[in-house]
Structure 1
Amino acid sequence: MIRRRIKLAALCFGALAPCISLTAAWGESTRGQYLVEALAACDNCHTPRGANGYDLAARFSGGSQTFLAKTYAVRGGNISTDKETGIGGWTDDALRAAIVEGLGPDGRLAPAMPSDSYRAFTKRDLNAVIGYLRSNATPVRSAAAPGQRHDAGWAPHPLPGAEGAFDEAALDDKIKLGLYVASVARCMACHSGETDDAPDHANKLGAGGKVFRTPAGVAIASNISSHLSKGVGAWADDELKRAITPGVSRDGAPVKPPMSTLSKAHFLKMSPRDLDALVAWLRTVPPQE
């Protein structure tokens, strides 16, 4: 155990998560932390919030936000290592099923769980996420809020080209890496136009228009297609990067929630290589009116 800790410390010494590539050979715990915190942003749904942001004393014990739709009303569940109310008693296979298939021990999870986006995880990355949750999520006893309904039918809406697990070698290609990052970070779950309350990637990829109602007010997801006037086609790379992290729009105004939370609390930790790849992939999104 001591040797293992020394080895892990040597791998991590002098290297912060934002500076590590998604495809670098690094310690599994550090890799899992990067995926959970910088890209998948698990805290956004699974950690309660206080006046100053995430309540890290109760990290992963369940989110504060209720996700409402016609057929379900849920909050992010307890994914701490508590054995009774969290995932401490789950097998690795059960965790994999929940993350990439949307299946919990008691049946289908509500569509608020973005399993279709996480289908892209490479085998190594999925194992790293599970390993990080197992080793770093302090057990917090917190039962699910009453009155939740999970009775929604689940229809996956993965990004085109990210319908299944990526091969590690594919991530050496910059555009494919950008697609991978976009899928895991769920960019188009917010920024694609919708049909029947679901992202329509086939016809409205990056078109924006999704409405978010938050305590800070109403926000509408922007068009991030390559359209020169209605999208971001005329934006410089640095302007796009600034909007993603730290959340400053082209005109200098801060972006609105929920993007502002994601930008500052999560995407700010994104590695330069992954951010470069994401911007390169966004350039390939066809223009949408």
Structure 2
Amino acid sequence: MKPSLKVSVICGLLLSSGAVYAQAPLPANMAQLIAQGKYLATAGDCDGCHTIASGQVYGGGRAFDTPFGTLYSTNISSDKQYGIGNYTYQQFVDAVRNGVAPIGNLYPAMPYASYHRISDHDMQALYAYFMHTKPATQPNRENGIGFPFNIRMGLKLWNLVGFDKATFKPTADKSPLWNRGKYLVQGLGHCGECHTPRNFMMATEQDHALEGAVVNYLNAPNITAKNLTQEKWTFHDLAQFLKTGQSPKGTAFDDMYVVEKHSLTQLNDHDITAITSYLLDQAQPQSSSKSQSKLTPLAVSPLDTKLPGYRIYMDKCSGCHGLSGQGLPNVAPALKNNATIEDSNIFNTVAVLTNGISQQGYNQQQSYYTMPGYKNSLNDQQMADLITYLHHSFSTQITTTTAKQVAAIKKQLSNN
């Protein structure tokens, strides 16, 4: 009997009665498979997309704004009425890897183009786990997609044009650790779904993989090895950022915060090291074995009090981020050497200053206050002056931002 068929049969027998499945002891190999599947589901950030704060775990309902309307994630629990509890193993594979569910073709907001790279063994573990999740009795929400994009048959054309069905291929001259990172980034982690630009068909441009893209009113930055090296990300700092959501280069926010909280911070150190090795295209240095729990002290440079943005910073920002941009633990991150401020692309800086950031909390020892938006209290020139001050005082970007640049980004934000 093939392994995939064997898993399907075992899961089918175990699930023939909900009560029996919940109470009967699992065979050792099945319990191990389910535990592995739970970890893989975490690596794939399934919880982050398919659970909302007011809902049941895996009950769906998270909204995704697209150029064609609003999509809502679906119930992927083991519930037989609203979830996927009736899926056979092959139906599960078709949905996750190929974007074809019993209800029809899935919209590519479900990252099946990346999940197509998931191995057979990992698919079996994922299936075992999801058939074992607690049923969520949460109905699915109707998508807000207008005609003709609400006709799922049209997605077959998208699959022909935009879905290359790439499988995972290890790179022969790279280490097992690096290739593990490649597998996680390209497959389960589906990093390219946000960090790779898309063409007019909304398919990712693989010739520009991980070079950055605007998603949900923010710029998912360029995370190629070349750019990360240019921005002076060290192995230790990047691993620390992935593992904790914070580093001397700044903190995760918005959608990346969701990824950090529900996925990356839950991964083991080996996989964090593997992802770091792949993204930086570096072997793990000996020094990276030191504790990742402590932040490197920041060097504070003299502030340029003559710049027009100085007074704005002192009025709007210093209370939380500190007089010298050093940040305050569990209040606000440091701005000195912050990757967002260091980036020559000011899109995210304008977006954050305009719209603010919601409160973020990982645990009792690590959280950040809400940052207010200043779209109604700072005009374009004032915001430009503030960004110029941030660049001159806290980064190597000794540039002057203009009101015209700020206005152009604000217009783009309002049109998204």
Q: Same fold (TM over 0.5)?
A: yes
Partner of 2:272: 275
Query: Aligned equivalents of 1:171 and 1:142: distance in 2?
Result: 46
Deviates more, 1:240-249 or 1:147-156: 147-156
Per the alignment, do residues 32 and 236 of structure 1 end up closer, same or farther by CA in structure 2, a change over 3 Å counting?
same
Listed as ranges, the matches of 1:21-36 within 5 Å are 27-36=32-41
Partner of 1:174: 177
Task: Confirm or deny that 1:236 pairs with 2:234.
Answer: yes
Offset from partner CA, 1:95-114 (integer Å, 9 cap, x none): 11000000011221101111
TM-score, scaled to structure 2: 0.54
Q: 1:119 offset after TM fit, Å?
A: 1.1
Partner of 2:53: 49
Amino acid at match of 2:183: Y
Offset from partner CA, 1:105-164 (integer Å, 9 cap, x none): 122110111111111111111010111000123242413335453644335556xxx922
CA contact (8 A) 1:43 1:60 kept: yes
Listed as ranges, the matches of 1:119-138 within 5 Å are 119-138=116-135
CA contact (8 A) 1:119 1:163 kept: yes
Partner of 1:164: 167
Q: 1:256 offset after TM fit, Å?
A: 1.6
User: After TM superposition, what 4+ stretches of structure 1 lie above 6 angstroms from structure 2?
Assistant: none
Q: Which has the larger radius of gyration?
A: 2
TM-score, scaled to structure 1: 0.75
CA contact (8 A) 1:28 1:128 kept: yes
Amino acid at match of 2:184: V
Match of 2:107 among 107, 110, 133: 110
Partner of 1:65: 63
CA contact (8 A) 2:61 2:140 kept: no
CA contact (8 A) 1:49 1:64 kept: no
Amino acid at match of 1:185: G
Match of 2:75 among 60, 75, 78: 78
Relative CO higher for 1 or 2, CA cutoff 8 Å, sep ≥ 6? 1
Query: Aligned equivalents of 1:146 and 1:212: distance in 2?
Result: 17
Partner of 1:20: none
Per the alignment, do residues 31 and 166 of structure 1 end up closer, same or farther by CA in structure 2, a change over 3 Å counting?
farther
Query: Aligned equivalents of 2:256 and 2:59: distance in 1?
Result: 22
* Identity of matched residues, %: 22
Deviates more, 1:74-83 or 1:204-213: 204-213
Query: Aligned equivalents of 1:147 and 1:187: distance in 2?
Result: 26
Query: Aligned equivalents of 1:120 and 1:274: distance in 2?
Result: 17
Offset from partner CA, 1:188-237 (integer Å, 9 cap, x none): 211123332432121x2221132323xxxxx211111123xx53453111
Listed as ranges, the matches of 1:239-258 within 5 Å are 239-251=237-249, 253-258=250-255
Query: Aligned equivalents of 1:177 and 1:88: distance in 2?
Result: 30
Partner of 1:93: 90
Amino acid at match of 2:224: S
CA contact (8 A) 2:78 2:84 kept: yes
Structure 2 stretches of 5 or more lacking a match?
A: 1-13, 15-22, 283-344, 346-416
Amino acid at match of 1:62: G
Query: Aligned equivalents of 1:171 and 1:231: distance in 2?
Result: 19
CA contact (8 A) 1:121 1:166 kept: no
Per the alignment, do residues 147 and 255 of structure 1 end up closer, same or farther by CA in structure 2, a change over 3 Å counting?
closer
Query: Aligned equivalents of 1:79 and 1:44: distance in 2?
Result: 12
CA contact (8 A) 1:103 1:109 kept: yes
Query: Aligned equivalents of 1:118 and 1:88: distance in 2?
Result: 20
Partner of 2:206: 201
Amino acid at match of 1:242: Q
How many residue pairs get aligned? The number is 249
Query: Aligned equivalents of 2:143 and 2:220: distance in 1?
Result: 31
CA contact (8 A) 1:82 1:138 kept: yes
Partner of 2:220: 221
Per the alignment, do residues 89 and 79 of structure 1 end up closer, same or farther by CA in structure 2, a change over 3 Å counting?
same
Per the alignment, do residues 175 and 146 of structure 1 end up closer, same or farther by CA in structure 2, a change over 3 Å counting?
closer
CA contact (8 A) 1:110 1:150 kept: no
Structure 1 stretches of 5 or more lacking a match?
A: 12-26, 214-218
CA contact (8 A) 2:71 2:143 kept: no
Query: Aligned equivalents of 2:196 and 2:222: distance in 1?
Result: 8
Amino acid at match of 1:179: K
Query: Aligned equivalents of 2:174 and 2:86: distance in 1?
Result: 33
Per the alignment, do residues 166 and 129 of structure 1 end up closer, same or farther by CA in structure 2, a change over 3 Å counting?
farther
Give secondary structure in 1 for the equivalent of 2:273.
helix
Give secondary structure in 1 for the equivalent of 2:71.
strand
Give secondary structure in 2 for the equivalent of 1:220.
strand
Match of 1:189 among 186, 193, 196: 193
Query: Aligned equivalents of 1:65 and 1:276: distance in 2?
Result: 32
Partner of 1:143: 140
Partner of 1:18: none
Offset from partner CA, 1:16-44 (integer Å, 9 cap, x none): xxxxxxxxxxx11110010111x101112
Instruction: Report the structure, 1 or 2, having the larger helix content.
Output: 2
